[in-house]
Structure 1
Amino acid sequence: MESVSSVEEQLYACLFPGRGRYSPQHAAVLAGRLREVADSLGQARQQQVKPYEEPDGKRRRKELRGRGRDLDFSAYQQRYVALELLYLGHAYGGFARQEHTEQTIEGHLFAALRTTRLVPAEASWQELRYSRGGRTDKGVSALGQVVALLLRSAARTGEVQPEADVELDYPSLLNRVLPQDIRVLGWADVPDDFSARFSAQYREYKYLIAYRPPTPPGGMLQAASEDDPGSAAAATAAAGAGQGAAAAAAAAGKQGAAEAAPGGGKPAVGHGSAAPLTGAPLGEALDVGRMQEAAAFFLGEHDFRNFCKVDVAQVTNFRRRVLDCRVEELPACAWGGRRLLQLHIRGTAFLWHQVRCMAAVLLMVGRGEEPPGIVATLLDPQQVPRKPQYTLASEEPLLLYSCAYGGLRFQRSRQNQDIVRGQLEGVLTSHLIRAGMLHTIQQRLASDHLQHDGTNGGGKRQRGGAGAATACSKHVPLLQRAKEPAVEERLLKHADGGGCRTNAKAAAKAKAAAKAKAAFPAPAKATAQAEAASAAAAKATAQAEAAFSSTPASTPKPPAPEAAAKPAATFPPAPSISASAAQASKLPRGHRH
């Protein structure tokens, strides 16, 4: 007890100095004072500023800024708007957000929306009423991509919504935090029933193709022009050199504007002499007239099942309308003997990989590997019910040029546009410097000393330009290639295997599969038919041999029956496309991108 009393006395003397000694009557006063001290210490601890610790540095700070922790979104109005996007998609895994990667256009866009606190961090796409005009693939770029969603307005709840010119500058806010190859160009108010996907009147794509103009008669290189600096540099170098050096400089400047004929002489040796160009990766010589003739067949409404990647789980109607399709030269864009063509396509909706398939076939026509009429043939599923196997054109030259909506006018500020154009000029300058560096390297390689190895520099032809820049073997005509399964086969397999997401879709797939099964026999039934045909053929052959053995020697051998002349069918025949075309309009429409 003495130790306790001693503590109490010390506390009393400390808290009440000059009031004498502690006595039991002072216990209540001392306890109240101690409670006051404890409360004061607790408040001081809560008010103490704790140093900010970042476990992951910059990434952690971005996450905290994106949470909008200090903003009450319920205190602000929302505005349903459409955003116009520009992006260079070469470094991204496509437009749509994906679970396994953050390197998508949509992923960066939503990160910027959260960082600028234009949308709540936890808001779902359904709550934001989000829609997109097109879903571009990996490596594809866009100039006129459009998305629609609800964004925070500058107006508080209960206030009058401000006019567009005094609303938040959405493009400038987002461009401050977006990567420089993703830009917001403008925004517009849209009605409540607007959908960036379904409200689009049409979409436009441009596909760029690098090619070299035809060699003039006599095999001479084309003269340098003002809009082709590579040609001008080559011509200048050739003017002050000897014959061998001139050939080397011209060959380097034109980058293969002329090819040596196969077996056209031995390769020159010695520094300053040009090596033959047949083995170099040259820009392709394309017949633009043939490509334009073939492109005209795409106009109108057609079945594009042979010009897309078929996915019957999502799309069962392959009819699409093309409003405009033309191949034309891109003016004032040339380098080193190469020029650029642009394939311009405008349509109401597009299938998966449709534009790249169209470009791939047009490139075959331009190279002289296919006739222009191959487009009309492939557009007729009665002639070609199964798509021939061919490689897609590269994704890098594809540009979603615009998505058109009737009466929609985007708000674009001059300040934001000047900033975007300045950034694009920097990118263009960087690419021009790289092109000049590659041109310089090619000049040097064309004039290097080569040791004669007994070859003429031939080998496999290289394809430059936009389609495929790799060595290729002999071209196999499209109609002679292996074929993919028909759409009806895919429908039947998909219905048998399940995988439909909703009952309505499952019923539609089952109905389509039943019609397909009636026109297209199942594999087991087809096998039975093949075996029956084979047995009939064997019986006919035996009868023919018996008839031949019973005839005199002077009697000519009768012709074999038709059943024996033809091999037994090993694959079921293609279904009637007229029936499937009639039922296509009844099937649910697929992706409009």
Structure 2
Amino acid sequence: MNLAFRFSYFGDRFFGSQMQPDLPTVEGEFIGACRHLGLFEDWREACFATAGRTDRGVHARCQVCSFLTDKPELAIEALNRVLPADIWCTGWAEAPEGFHPRYSAVSRTYRYYFVAPGDVAAMHEAAQEFVGRHDFSAFARAGDRNPERRILASRVLIDGRFAVFEVTGESFLWNMVRCMATALGRVGRGEAEATEIARLLAGPAEQRVAAAPPEGLILWDIDYGIPFTPLSIDARSSRYLDDRHRYHVLMAEVSAHLTSDLR
């Protein structure tokens, strides 16, 4: 059976998602868990693939992989027990014929979190410049790939103490969302206006916008037009999430006190 799994991870300790020799990666951990359970021996023969790569330090709320196995029940029941605490499956589906987690995606959504955003209304207005089909040479490392991409939706919203850039597109280039985030951050700080983004999208790229730090980026969602059956998070991952939440609440309180003392 060709199984598809939707899964999440924190990217802090991984050298990106793609397998690399002698380095911890998301794919390496997932394939190791599958082999430990005897779901397959050779990941190539099992046609293991993910929806796409994320860089070192980037997180995922919704990454998707698929692979062939003759033990689907074991995979569904046990994978969350053997995956490390910072990776957990949230759903599964029997992949339809011809399914590929990368090429079958209808759209992808990313979120970039800003700690100190500035003028959120101006950022949201500027984010509308990205909607539609544009040449993103100035906002990505395109290499020999077609630099044109279609953005379906783009907005900046408030989420607690963060401003969040949320963007949905048919596909993305390497570092594209992080470069877009840099441009919006400059707008929020009053260093640029929406017209600067429009100018960069309109003509050949003389210089590429620098990518924002990877820690703020989350692969938020991938739409395939198929339903996934929800999976319960493992107790180890649940404790891991609770510990991270407590830590960040504490750090936010410390930061608030330090800021207050400096005023």
Shift of 1:421: 4.4
Report the equivalent of 1:431: 248
What corresponds to 1:231 in structure 2? Answer: none
Q: Which residue pairs with 2:133 in the alignment?
A: 301
1:548-567 counterparts in 2 under 5 A? Answer: none
- Deviation of 1:176 after TM superposition, in Å, equals 1.9
Q: Residue 85 of structure 2 is aligned with which of 151, 175, 180?
A: 180
Question: How many angstroms apart in 1 are the aligned matches of 2:164 and 2:261?
Answer: 30
TM-score of the aligned structures, taking structure 2 as reference length: 0.92
8 Å contact from structure 2 (residues 10, 58) kept in 1: yes
Pairing partner for 1:398 from 201, 206, 217: 217
State the AA in 2 paired with 1:136: T
* Contact 2:9–2:59 (Cα < 8 Å) also in 1: yes
Aligned mates of 1:347, 1:378 — CA distance in 2: 18
Once the two structures are superposed, the pairs formed by residues 141-156 of structure 1 within 5 Å of their partners are 141-153=59-71
Identity %: 35
Asked if 1:90 is matched to 2:17, the reply is no
Pick aligned residue for 2:149 from 320, 337, 345: 320
Deviation at 1:425, TM superposition (A): 2.4
CA 1:83–1:393: 2 relative to 1, 3 Å: same
Asked if the contact 2:34/2:79 (under 8 Å) is kept, the reply is yes
Q: Are the aligned partners of 1:109 and 1:178 in contact in 2 as well (CA < 8 Å)?
A: yes
Amino acid at match of 2:18: A
For residues 188 and 169 of structure 2, what CA distance do their matches in structure 1 show? 23
Answer 1 or 2: which has greater helix percent: 1
Question: Is the CA contact 1:302–1:320 (under 8 Å) kept in the aligned structure 2?
Answer: yes
Cα gap change, 1:149 to 1:202, in 2 (>3 Å): same
3-state DSSP of counterpart to 1:91: coil
Task: Show the counterpart of 2:115.
Answer: 210
Q: Please state if 1:105 is matched with 2:19.
A: no
Gaps of 5+ in 2: none
**1:364 match:** 186
Q: Deviations over 1:282-311 (max 9, x none)?
A: xx6x12222112111111111111110131
Question: What amino acid is aligned across from residue 103 of structure 1 in structure 2?
Answer: P
Please state if 1:130 is matched with 2:130.
no
CA gap 1:389/1:303 in 2 versus in 1, 3 angstroms: closer
In 2, Cα distance between equivalents of 1:92 and 1:105: 7
Tell me which protein shows more strand as a share of its residues. Answer: 2
Cα distance, 1:178 vs structure 2: 1.8
CA deviation after TM superposition for structure 1 residue 130, in Å: 2.2
Matched AA of 2:28:
G
Correspondence for 1:490: none
Q: Deviations over 1:373-430 (max 9, x none)?
A: 111111112xxx2332543111101000011111x222224xx237454542232123
Task: Kindly indicate whether residue 142 of structure 2 is the aligned counterpart of residue 287 of structure 1.
Answer: no
1:194 matched to 2:99? The reply is yes
Q: Is the 8 A contact 2:156 2:164 kept in 1?
A: yes
- 1:102–1:108 contact (8 Å) kept in structure 2: no
> Deviation digits for residues 243-287 of structure 1, max 9, x if unmatched?
xxxxxxxxxxxxxxxxxxxxxxxxxxxxxxxxxxxxxxxxx6x12
Instruction: Look up the match of 1:588.
Output: none
Separation in 1 of the partners of 2:97 and 2:247? 43
Q: Is the 8 A contact 1:171 1:184 kept in 2?
A: no
Q: 1:171 to 1:428 in 2, by over 3 A?
A: farther
TM-score, reference length from structure 1 = 0.42
Q: Give CA deviations for 1:2-23 in whole Å, capped at 9, x if unaligned.
A: xxxxxxxxxxxxxxxxxxxxxx
For residues 171 and 183 of structure 1, what CA distance do their matches in structure 2 show?
12
User: Which residue of structure 2 aligns with residue 311 of structure 1?
Assistant: 143
- C-alpha deviation, 1:115, in angstroms: 0.9
The count of corresponding residues between Structure 1 and Structure 2 is 262
- Amino acid in the other structure paired with 1:182: I
**In 2, Cα distance between the equivalents of 1:363 and 1:115?**
44
Shift in Å at residue 172 of structure 1? 4.5
Gaps of 5+ in 1: 1-78, 155-166, 212-283, 334-338, 448-593
